[in-house]
Amino acid sequence: MELEEGMVRKIAISVGVVGVFVAAVVGIGTTYSDGGLGSTGGLALVASIAVFILLMAGVGLFLAD
């Protein structure tokens, strides 16, 4: 099964955005871990999830045919 050129670009951009989200979650976990996540870390985690959702919606609109 061969992928079209445009599909490879869509997959690469989507995987890149997910990689940035995973890196953000790991960064938050290492920055705010003092025996637990705490309220500031939890707020940062919720904010990163919200930004990820908005970013994926934007990427979806950008990549829509």
Q: Which residues contact 56 (CB under 8 A, 6 or more apart)?
A: 14, 17
64 domain residue, yes or no: yes
60 domain residue, yes or no: yes
State the total domains in the chain.
1
The interaxial angle of helices 5-31 and 38-63, nearest 10 deg, is 170
51 domain residue, yes or no: yes
Question: Tens digits of per-residue pLDDT, 4-49?
Answer: 878 888 899 999 999 999 999 999 999 988 888 888 999 999 999 9
Total-model pTM = 0.82
58 domain residue, yes or no: yes
| Containing structural domain, residue 54 | 36-65
Q: What local confidence, expressed as pLDDT, does residue 65 receive? A: 63
User: Is the pLDDT at 55 greater than 80, yes or no?
Assistant: yes
